[in-house]
Every structure is written in C-alpha cells, then in structure tokens.
Structure 1
C-alpha cells in the first residue's frame, strides 16, 4: 500500500471552497489519477494523496505549486506525510511558480530528513 500525504487547508475564504478547488486541480493531472481522496480528520476536512514513489511525490509538489500560484486569496497548506512529519506552507497570493515549487520542495526535504 502506498504512503499518503495529507493536505489540510486554511484560507481567508471558505475552506471547503479551497479544498474543492485543490482536489479538482490535483485530480485533473493524469499522473495523480485515482490518488486523491477527501477525508475527515479530527476537526478538519483534508485531502489524502497516495504516493507510491518519488515520481508521484514530485508530481504532487508540482501540482500543488501550480494551484498555489493560481489562487486569488491567501491560503496556507499544511502538508503531512508518513512517519508523522509535517510542513506548513504559507504562500499569500503567490505568482512565481518557480519560487513556490522551491518552497514546497524545500519543505518536503526538510521534514523528510528528520
């Protein structure tokens, strides 16, 4: 069974709207087909993304960066992974996909190294 990343969103607009938007964005990527599910976790709704290998993890990073750069509102994404690591990505109205991708990759590398 593949590992799963958990994506929890915090937004200055309704979180359910942001979650639906992100889920739709991720599901539109053929490389993530069938890996994205919505779930309830304690007090929040989250997205779970099954990641079977490093290639899928990189696709997730790229797709998440793309979604963040297209947001019109401030949003914070908490990315959690196997073994209990997590990183919070606070990217207000991002426009530079390269910078967002670098931020997401750095967060994943930092917490995975723990």
Structure 2
C-alpha cells in the first residue's frame, strides 16, 4: 500500500464531497432510488478498475492479450516491476475507497427507498 500523505487525504475528501453532491442531485431528481443507482454505478466502476489492475483493456479480451501483458511484465527489471506494483497498489487503494463510498450510497439509497 502506498504511503498516506496529506495530498491523498485532501483528494479523498474532495472526491467524497463531490460524490455527496451528486447523491444530493440524484436524490432531488429521482429520490432515494436515484441515490441507490448512483451507489451501484460507483460500485461497478470501482470494482472494474480494481479487477483490471491498470492493465490494457479492450473489446476483445483474448488470452493473447493477457499473455503478452504478463510476458512483458516478466521481462522487465526488478525496479520496473516494483514501480508497476506500487502504481497498482495506488490504483487498488483508491478503488477500494470508491467501493466503500459506492456501497454505502447503494445501501443507504435502496434501504431508505424500501423503508419510505
């Protein structure tokens, strides 16, 4: 996991505020169902980013594409592999934070939709 610093924390707070503003707009437009849908959308995108791991994507997810990606990773030096691992760690860390925000919006939105 990459080291935590002030800039990363400030960006996380700004993203949370922006997501809450979008949730408010969704609540005003559609109600709690809109908040739940926004949470599912954020959850879907965060899970997809976490699963892809900053690797190439495309319409054809062929075994040759994955094999060439892993072949290029194993052929690189130790410093390059460490750099890519740190980059993937940063992406996964951010995606997990977004998964937490999206999941909480989905639970709150659909929970309040069904309760009210």
TM-score, L = length of structure 1:
0.27
Question: What TM-score does the superposition give when structure 2 sets the normalisation length?
Answer: 0.27
Larger radius of gyration: 2
